Amino acid sequence: MSLEVKVPAVGESITEVTIAQWLKKDGDRVEMDEVIAELESDKATFELPAEAAGILRIVAQEGDTVDVGATICKIEENGAAGAAPSAPAAASQSAAPSSAPAAQGGGEAVEMKVPTVGESITEVTVASWLKNDGDHVEMDEVIAELESDKATFELPAEAAGTLEIVAKQGDTIEIGATICKIVPGAGAPQANAQAAAKQEEANQKASSQPTATTASGAQTYASGTPSPAAGKILAEKGINPADVQGTGRDGRITKEDAQNAQKSAAKPAAASPKQEATASAEAPAASGDRNQRREKMSSLRKTVARRLVQVKNETAMLTTFNEVDMKPIMDIRAKYKEKFKEKHDVGLGFMSFFTKACTVALQEWPAVNAQIDGNEMVFNDFCDVSIAVSSPKGLVVPVIRNAESLTLDGIEKEVIRLAKKARDGKLSIEEMTGGTFTITNGGVFGSMMSTPIINAPQSAILGMHNIVQRPVAVNGQVEIRPMMYVALSYDHRIIDGRESVSFLVRVKELLEDPMRLLLGV
């Protein structure tokens, strides 16, 4: 009997998902509720649990985009599972004889669960197992390395006995979930014998290669083992860890070791004089480093890329420009910034002025604050302003809720709070969804002018740029003023040219005469 697993509904407005990663291979045996894949929408990543136990048959491949409700895989139950046991199942069956005596001789198995490793960390990835399934482990011996999105942690054994691995290397598991079991008792001698045999075999294979040792000259489990970061670099470059000399503790291969090995491995081998003469006759030699490297796109980067292309293809996007004399705002900041910070414990920046000016203009031109939903236009009487923030993982757009009701200091505090959470990778899904208008500041990177892309399903985005001293005509006189170009990209399907230009002119007026913001005129 075959059970069809369909893409579940993961959000009110989400109609399709992308298969970010299969955690199990086609033909593997899976257990009920075991996580078998990661699904990615334009807002978040979700885990797909198995709906039954059996043999996995993959229908949609990794990277495919499938509709909600479509079949993503099948699970063959009953006879299929017995006829074709997967490699992990076979391994567990072969390990049963050794684990059975252990259970008989030494009491119940100790279930080891993933410990709490940080306030905001809800799941970790098994970066590497330092012991094999069936090995004997000692109390407090480090048996695995766990990796979160922020750091790598070591997992010590909570008892002495025979190790039974539950979560495989590369699996992502939640805090508190069972990662392995340790069976104490009679199985230890047999496990020791198996471990000794494996170690002897490994020693024979490595006898012709230099090995890392501790200060006392003894090998440990860490000798020649790369850290997760180093392992990733070596894997991307196709370098065998056995060819790298580790300089870390107990001979571990560090990230720096992997980077140095990458550089040395990338250099071409020395050619003979005859070969060099032939090559020089054929073509001039290239000078300098000509290395290349490939990096897999992160889930966030793939989502951003897909959404940006989708916006370009599905909207009638147009951009209008204007320029703003920043001298009045700069004069206010220079005069009151110390008192402002002393009273509100936050600096007075440009973003609060721009956000406040935009909320006033949005209420006067509601089409700029609206969006298209099918054949309807949705108008909002509130201003949830999204701010584009560059984080270590990529561009994120957290939302300032009800910005129209906030004061300048309230906006500044919210901007700082959201930007800090973005840099720390702690933004929640709720904090990044539901905006009605977006502001992006390319000026902090030196951009003079740009055409920002709309943040769908919104209909407009304002782009700020750098401030440049330029000569301008003021009351018939040429003066040097700090000027900024501003750009408004908008969806012409819902916003007309008159509305877009009038909106930008209103923002310009409010910024060049900040008293209007205080008086509401």
Share above pLDDT 90 across residues of the chain, in percent, rounded to a whole number: 31
Q: Give 60's contacts (C-beta < 8 A, 6+ positions apart).
A: 19, 66, 70, 71, 72, 73
DSSP SS3 for 40: strand
Q: Residue 251 — φ and ψ, nearest 5°?
A: 85, 10
Both structure tokens of 508: 């310009």
Alpha-carbon distances of 326 from 151, 271, 427, 483, 511, rounded to whole Å: 43, 62, 32, 6, 7
CA distance 489 to 485: 13
CA 56 to chain centre: 27
Q: Cβ–Cβ contacts within 10 Å for residue 304, how many?
A: 17
In 402-475, the DSSP E strands lie at: 437-441, 460-464, 467-474
Query: Residue 475's closest CA among 325, 371, 368?
Result: 325
Each residue's pLDDT, cut to its tens digit, for the chain (521 residues) gives: 788 888 888 766 677 888 888 888 888 888 888 889 888 776 667 788 888 888 988 999 888 888 888 899 999 886 444 444 444 444 444 444 444 443 344 567 888 988 887 656 778 888 888 998 888 888 888 899 887 765 677 889 888 889 999 998 888 888 888 999 998 864 445 545 555 555 555 555 444 444 444 444 455 556 777 776 777 778 777 788 877 878 776 677 877 788 787 555 444 445 555 555 555 556 666 667 788 888 877 767 777 788 888 888 888 999 999 999 999 999 999 999 899 999 999 999 999 999 999 999 999 999 999 999 888 999 999 999 999 888 777 778 899 999 999 999 999 999 999 988 888 878 887 888 889 999 999 888 889 999 999 998 899 999 999 999 999 999 999 999 999 999 999 999 999 999 999 999 999 999 999 988 877 76
Q: What is the pLDDT of residues 348-375, one digit of tens each?
A: 999 999 999 999 999 999 999 999 988 8
pLDDT for 43: 63
Domains contained in the chain, CATH given: 1-85 (2.40.50.100), 104-206 (2.40.50.100), 220-262 (4.10.320.10), 316-519 (3.30.559.10)
Half-sphere exposure at residue 329, Cβ-oriented, CA atoms within 13 angstroms: 25
pLDDT tens digits for 26-81?
A: 888 888 888 898 887 766 677 888 888 889 889 998 888 888 888 999 998 864 44
Q: Are 157 and 111 in contact (CB under 8 A)?
A: no
SS3 for 195-252 is: HHHHHHHHHHHHCCCCCCCCCCCCCCCCCCCECHHHHHHHHHHCCCHHHCCCCCHHHC
Listed residue (349, 388, 357) closest to 517, CA to CA: 357
Average pLDDT, the chain: 80
Active site residue ranges? 492, 496
